[in-house]
Amino acid sequence: MPIQLAQENSPKVAYLSPKSHLEGRTFLVTRTLEGNFSERSELEKWGAEVIELETLKLIPPSSWEKLDYILSILDQINWIIFTSGNGVRFFFGRILGTHVKGSGELFPRSLPEFACIGPSTAKALELAGFTCSFQPSEFLTTTLGEELAASFDIFGKRIALARVEDASLELGDCLRDAGAEVIEVPVYAIAPTGRNLSAQDLDRVTDITLMSPSAVDGLRRTISPDEITKRRIRVHCIGPVTARATENAGLELFSVSNAHTLEGLIQMIIDS
């Protein structure tokens, strides 16, 4: 089955299609409880039926040691990079939970710059009371690293990567190649939920959306790739990293979005 690629690579996607474009289709969404809720709301705007499968949950990292260390030398950190809104929320949640009580000023007067992978992450940072100084033109970690290095002098600078535990090493390696001192800071971890999908619900599914490699793993634990292929269920991925994980899991791709946002994914599905 050929992969359909979105034609637009812009993070801002204009919806011109009527609601009826997704009527008659039932989407299985495969994120966290909160992520499924937001995705469901967007899909239902366009007439889709939605079944939620909570494939994963967010938990604290195995250790807070790295984050607590960063907080102790925050005035020596030049950049903090967030690659998800979850990273922002866990980062500031840890600060508010353990460092505010009786500690005087929360931050030093000289704050680091903040870089975010995309607008939803930047919005989470804004809700925490801070401003994003840099976003890449494309919502990929490799692009973030390359464009940050091209746009700013990061040679010798200390950069903290506040993100999921066991994240890919590509971003850190890119920044180190540009001469930065990079500190990996796990601020949350992902665990499978072990949720099941009833046979009745599975019979209704026409499409599956996958928003991360972790969601791919969670889906595979619930439904076999052969079962998905046999039922001719269309599988849609938010971007190339998730697409690679999907193919490695033995799933056949129907489409991969070039605009690596929920809105871009839905627009691509509508257009295809």
| Cβ count within 10 A of residue 234 | 20
Main-chain phi, psi angles of 188, to 5 degrees: -160, 165
Fold matches, 4-55+196-271 and 59-191: yes
Q: Quick one: angle between helices 85-98 and 119-127, nearest 10?
A: 20
The label of the residue with tokens 């000289």 reads 110
pLDDT given at position 271: 86
Most confident of the following: 9-13, 144-148, 167-171:
144-148
Identify how many contiguous H helices and E strands the chain contains and give both numbers. 11, 11
Q: Quick one: angle between helices 65-72 and 85-98, nearest 10?
A: 70
Q: pLDDT tens across 212-230, in order?
A: 999 999 999 999 999 999 9
Is the pLDDT assigned to residue 6 strictly greater than 90? Answer: no
To the nearest whole percent, how much of the chain has pLDDT over 70?
A: 88
pLDDT given at position 103: 44
Higher per-residue pLDDT: 187 or 19: 187
pLDDT given at position 4: 43
pLDDT given at position 15: 45
Lowest mean per-residue pLDDT among 14-18, 68-72, 187-191: 14-18
How far from each other are the two terminal CA atoms of the chain, in whole angstroms?
13
- Between strands 255-256 and 234-237, the pairing is parallel
pTM over the 0.95 mark:
no
Distance CA 121, CA 140 (A): 13
Is the pLDDT assigned to residue 102 strictly greater than 50? Answer: no
pLDDT given at position 7: 36
Is domain 59-191 annotated with CATH 3.40.50.10090? yes
The label of the residue with tokens 């866990």 reads 90
Q: pLDDT tens across 56-92, in order?
A: 999 999 999 999 999 889 989 999 999 999 999 999 9
Domain boundaries along the sequence of the chain: 4-55+196-271, 59-191
To the nearest whole percent, how much of the chain has pLDDT over 90?
A: 76
Long-range (24+ apart) CB contacts under 8 A made by 13-21 are 13/259, 13/261, 13/263, 13/264, 13/267, 15/46, 15/263, 15/267, 15/270, 17/46, 17/267, 17/270, 17/271, 19/45, 19/46, 19/47, 20/47, 21/46, 21/47, 21/270
Average pLDDT, the chain: 88
Strand partners, 142: none
Higher per-residue pLDDT: 100 or 233: 233
**Core vs surface per residue 133-160: b (16+ CB within 10 A) or e:** bbbbebbbbbbbbbbbbeebebeebbbb
Sign of CA dihedral 250, 253, 258, 263: negative
Average pLDDT over every residue of 34-46: 93
Query: What is the CATH number assigned to the segment(s) 4-55+196-271?
Result: 3.40.50.10090
pLDDT given at position 16: 46
